[in-house]
Amino acid sequence: VKSEDAIRIATLYGIFCLLWLVNFVRMIGWTAMAGAFCHWYFFSDDDPVDAKMKSRKPILDSIYRVLRYHLGTVAFASLVVAICQFIQLLLSAIDQKTKKLQEQNQTLKLALKC
């Protein structure tokens, strides 16, 4: 493998890892927020039985539940999203590099629009 090819591969790998990490952290936040909202919604203050079960720190409890029980699901979902974003990024780069060819070739233009 040439030096330039190794740098390109390492750059693409770094971009993919960054996409995965950003999506992973974002999805942990979304899942924790959804858990806190569900806790608020289902445990009302009106019912004395529910009031005993209601947490004083629903966001921290939700973050704990995400980290304890749902981290694998969040990691897999963020991987799927990162793969889709990476493919979209590669196709966008191909689209930018082939602008002149697209103007000349109608079949290629139609294929890249799909």
47 sits in the region (left: phi over 0; alpha: psi -120 to 50; else beta) called beta
The answer, yes or no, to whether residue 113 has pLDDT greater than 70, is yes
pTM listed for this prediction: 0.79
Q: Report the alpha-carbon distance of residue 58 to residue 36 in Å, rounded.
A: 5
Give the start-to-end residue ranges of the domains of the chain: 3-113
111 pLDDT tier (thresholds 50, 70, 90)? confident
Residue range 61-104, pLDDT digits in tens: 999 999 999 999 999 999 999 999 999 999 999 988 888 877 78
Q: What is the DSSP string of 16-77?
A: HHHHHHHHHHHHHHHHHHHHHHHHHHHS-SSSHHHHHH--S-HHHHHHHHHHHHSHHHHHHH
Residue range 2-46, pLDDT digits in tens: 899 999 999 999 999 999 999 999 999 999 999 999 988 887 666
Burial of 42 by CB count in 10 Å (0-12 exposed, 13-18 middle, 19+ buried)?
exposed
